[in-house]
């Protein structure tokens, strides 16, 4: 199943705001617990942690999607700047798939702010409807992205209740 196929409901009908395959240009991924495992007991920048790991399937998904779309990362991580995020991604072999990193340190606001996704869209220079956000937080990755006009896929491995009209996956591999 591709990102575009994921953007269809179970009856095969596109949900409201559906973007055709040719319209999607950018896939933006959340960082913590979407691409890399965020260990709550660890403090400081992830690149300095003694052990880091990727979320299962992140490498395969990014390899496949980066062949078709431009892949980026967006995070509100408080302890890491763009350079430190890139270093952490390098430690698990994901950096080569990520073109740009958008973080609250650089944008001056977090993902819960409407400005966060607006600034990303403007920086990418394309309509917000050409961007899909994939993340594990319903409020900051999905609801905020949709409110800013982006498409969104909720990475929901905990199988929480999914609101109507929201596209959710339980494994990253469902994107490919």
Identify which of 55, 18, 51 has the alpha carbon closest to the alpha carbon of residue 36: 55
Domain membership of residue 110 (yes or no) is: yes
Number of compact structural domains in the chain: 1
Q: For the whole model, what pTM was predicted?
A: 0.89
pLDDT tens, position by position, 100-154: 999 999 999 999 998 999 999 999 999 999 999 999 999 999 999 999 999 999 9
Q: Which residues lie across from 21 on neighbouring strands?
A: none
Return the SS3 of 142.
Answer: helix
pLDDT tens, position by position, 59-105: 999 999 999 999 999 999 989 999 999 999 999 999 999 999 999 99
Question: Cα-flanking dihedrals φ and ψ of residue 82, to 5°?
Answer: -55, -45
Domain membership of residue 157 (yes or no) is: no
**CATH number of the domain residue 80 falls in:** 3.40.50.1000
The number of angstroms, rounded, from the C-alpha of 81 to the middle of its chain's C-alpha atoms is: 17
Contacts (Cβ under 8 Å, ≥6 apart) of 173: 57, 60, 61
Domain span including residue 32: 3-38+45-152+166-175
Question: Cα-flanking dihedrals φ and ψ of residue 50, to 5°?
Answer: -65, -30
CB-CB contact of 101 with 73 (8 Å): yes
Cβ atoms within 10 Å of 172's Cβ, excluding its own? 24
Query: N- to C-terminal Cα distance for the chain?
Result: 5
CB-CB contact of 23 with 129 (8 Å): yes
Domain membership of residue 161 (yes or no) is: no
Domain membership of residue 84 (yes or no) is: yes
Domain membership of residue 109 (yes or no) is: yes
Q: Given phi > 0 = left and psi -120 to 50 = alpha, else beta, which region is 137? A: beta
Q: How far apart are CA 71 and CA 48, in angstroms?
A: 24
Domain membership of residue 160 (yes or no) is: no
pLDDT at 7 over 60: no
pLDDT tens, position by position, 26-39: 999 999 999 999 99
């Amino acid at each position: 199943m591709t990102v575009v196929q994921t953007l269809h409901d179970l009856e095969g009908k596109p949900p409201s705001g559906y973007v055709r395959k040719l319209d999607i240009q950018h896939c933006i991924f959340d960082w913590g617990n979407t691409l890399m495992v965020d260990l709550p007991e660890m403090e400081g920048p992830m690149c300095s942690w003694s052990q880091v790991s990727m979320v299962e399937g992140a490498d395969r998904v990014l390899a496949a999607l980066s062949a078709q779309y431009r892949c980026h990362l967006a995070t509100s991580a408080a302890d890491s700047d763009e350079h430190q995020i890139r270093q952490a991604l390098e430690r698990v072999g994901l950096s080569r798939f990520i073109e740009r990193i958008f973080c609250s340190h650089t944008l001056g606001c977090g993902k819960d702010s409407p400005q966060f996704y607006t600034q990303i869209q403007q920086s990418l220079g394309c309509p917000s409807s050409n961007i899909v956000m994939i993340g594990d937080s319903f409020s900051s990755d999905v609801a905020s992205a949709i409110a800013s006009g982006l498409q969104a896929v909720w990475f929901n491995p905990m199988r929480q209740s999914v609101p109507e009209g929201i596209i959710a996956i339980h494994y990253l591999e469902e994107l490919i």
